[in-house]
Structure 1
């Protein structure tokens, strides 16, 4: 081979190496199927690819990389670069963010849920706890207040909850337990089978999940206004992978988060607008719980569970009172528009 040919081959090899070095491909572990709950992740992947001319891509896997309860473990060992999980799946691993799952916090809409989540995610205690799992909190997956679907006669009084087997995690599960319910924390993907097989009488979900996981198809009724709380499901990234990004790629990722969240909120808003027609189409009764029953529920669940959570966190050396106060203040600011 002559010198010119050798030089050409070497140049081509060098160019290929540079191109490979510039390319970044992340694997993202979620579960179920594409739905309102994952739209911000899909949008984030789209935006990042656009901003980097396809040099930074994300492969979103719906259950192909890990089980949903094991996503944080997968992040910790670098099995994939990004994942979504819910705090209630392993409360001992993400104690700080469980403040956002306390019942009857008074969050009224998804924008307020984003505000309180971002405030807690930015707290040093949350950052430090997630760093133990080599995880960085990237953005929340805001969900509306949970409500329950059930079969048979609608449960409209507090006495009806006594002995009720309900699929509910986190603070919502504790709230039902406080009024005699029997919570079980089967995963979202197992909820339909649990309802169909009689393991549970009712299932607590946000609207999108009742649709996505089919529980609405088993239901005779749905509580429109019980609103005992919601779950908190962050999107996290592996710290090493995040720090290994080039400045350009990291900027593309960080700058895309607000737009991804805005897209999620707009998309979820459309789902909420058509929810009544979904109920009508599927023949599900919309049940309104009386203000008296809700007040009684709140009195038995909210204060005792909040006080117990704060005491438990403080006993573990975490700033429980400070975190709860942060949520209260952030929520008040969001409601006042300040």
Structure 2
């Protein structure tokens, strides 16, 4: 081999390794299986890979990297670069965003859920609290109002909720507790087994989760309009990993978030349109709660829980009233512009 050939070969190898060094590969921790709830994660991964010509890729793992309730811990230690979690899994770690899980906030659709969530995520108090876990908020996983499936005779009056064992987390659990139910916070992956074994009588989920985790297959009935609230499940990235991105990669990542959310909303909308067909196929009775019962539920489990949250979080040094008010001003602005 001539010295010139050797030099060219060495240069080629160096360029190859340099190219490999420039490639960015992220691990992403989610749970369950691919479903409407994770479609924006897949879309984001698809977009960044496409826009970077394959130099920025994401490996999405369903439970292989962490337990769902430990995803925030994994982010904090850099075990993976991006993850999804739900505020109700560890409210003490993400106190500020639990305002979004308060019952009866009046959010009426997924677009409003996105607007309200992202307004809260952008608040400095949220950024500061998440920074304690080395986490940066990226986007929400918007879900419709939760409703419950149950076995046996339908429960369409509040008096029938007394003693009812329900899978519900966060503010939803508090709402059901206020009317005498007994909430349990088993994870979504454990909900079917809890229902099958009789640990719970009912399960509160959004529609996609009733499908994905099979609880609809155990159900005799579903409440069509209870709508007590929903849970809030952000996508976060490890701050160090984000800061290590090149300026171009950051731009690609940031500009792809809205596109990923738009894809999520379109996909989830199709699921909601099919929901009545799903109920009919599975022989699940649709139960409608009367306006009087709903008003009573809101009276008992709405304002009192809201005020208790404001007082508790204010005592812990959070700008609770400011966060709470931001929810409603954002709703007003969103509705005025749409």
Task: Indicate whether the TM-score tops 0.5.
Answer: yes
- The within-5 A match list for 1:140-219 is 140-219=140-219
| Structure 1 residues 51-66: aligned runs within 5 Å | 51-66=51-66
| TM-score, scaled relative to structure 2 | 0.99
In the TM superposition, residue 16 of structure 1 has moved relative to its aligned partner by: 1.5
Pairs within 5 Å for 1:160-309: 160-309=160-309
- Per-residue CA deviations over 1:178-234 (Å, capped at 9, x if unaligned) read 000100000000000000000000000000000000000000000000000000000
Deviations 1:108-133 (A, max 9, x none): 00000000000000000000000000
Aligned-residue offset at 1:12:
1.7
Q: Tell me, what secondary structure is at the counterpart of 1:286?
A: strand
Runs of 4 or more consecutive aligned structure 1 residues displaced over 6 Å after TM superposition: none
TM-fit CA distance, 1:17: 2.1
Secondary structure class of the residue paired with 1:274: helix
- Displacement of 1:5: 2.7
Between the aligned partners of 1:254 and 1:62, the Cα distance in structure 2 is 24
User: Within 2, Cα distance between the matches of 1:163 and 1:335?
Assistant: 38
1:263 deviates by: 0.3
Deviations 1:256-310 (A, max 9, x none): 0001000000000000001000000000000000000000000000111000100
C-alpha distance in 2 between matches for 1:46 and 1:303: 42
1:316 equivalent in structure 2: 316
Q: Distance in 2 between matches of 1:115 and 1:188?
A: 25
Match for residue 18 of structure 2? 18
3-state SS of the aligned residue for 2:302? helix
Q: Residues 156-188 of structure 1: CA distance to partner in whole angstroms, max 9, x if unpaired?
A: 101000000000001000000000010000000
C-alpha distance after superposition, 1:22-78 (max 9, x if no partner): 200000000000000000000000000110000000011011110000000000000
1:329 is displaced (CA, Å) by 0.6
Following the alignment from structure 1 to structure 2, what is the Cα–Cα distance between the partners of residues 336 and 189? 39
What secondary structure, in the 3-state scheme, does the structure 2 residue paired with 1:229 have?
A: coil
Aligned length: 338
Is 1:137 paired with 2:101? no
CA distance in 1 between counterparts of 2:69 and 2:5 reads 55
- Tell me the distance in 1 between the aligned counterparts of 2:260 and 2:275: 23
Alpha-carbon distance in structure 1 between the residues aligned to 2:242 and 2:94: 20
Q: Which residue of 1 aligns with 2:77?
A: 77
Deviation of 1:8 (Å):
1.8
Please give the alpha-carbon distance, in whole angstroms, between the structure 2 residues aligned to 1:256 and 1:127. Answer: 20
Distance 1:48 1:158 in 2: 48
Taking the TM superposition and a 5 Å limit, the aligned residue runs for 1:90-105 are 90-105=90-105
Structural mapping, 1:27-42, within 5 Å: 27-42=27-42
Counterpart position of 2:89: 89
Secondary structure, aligned partner of 2:192 = helix
Q: TM-score, normalised by structure 1?
A: 0.99
* Residue aligned with 1:29, SS: strand
Aligned alpha-carbon RMSD (Å)? 0.7
- Cα displacement (A) at 1:335: 2.0
Deviation at 1:13, TM superposition (A): 2.2
Unaligned regions of 5+ residues in structure 2, if any? Answer: none
Unaligned runs of 5+ in 1: none
* Alignment partners' CA distance in 2, 1:316 and 1:23: 43
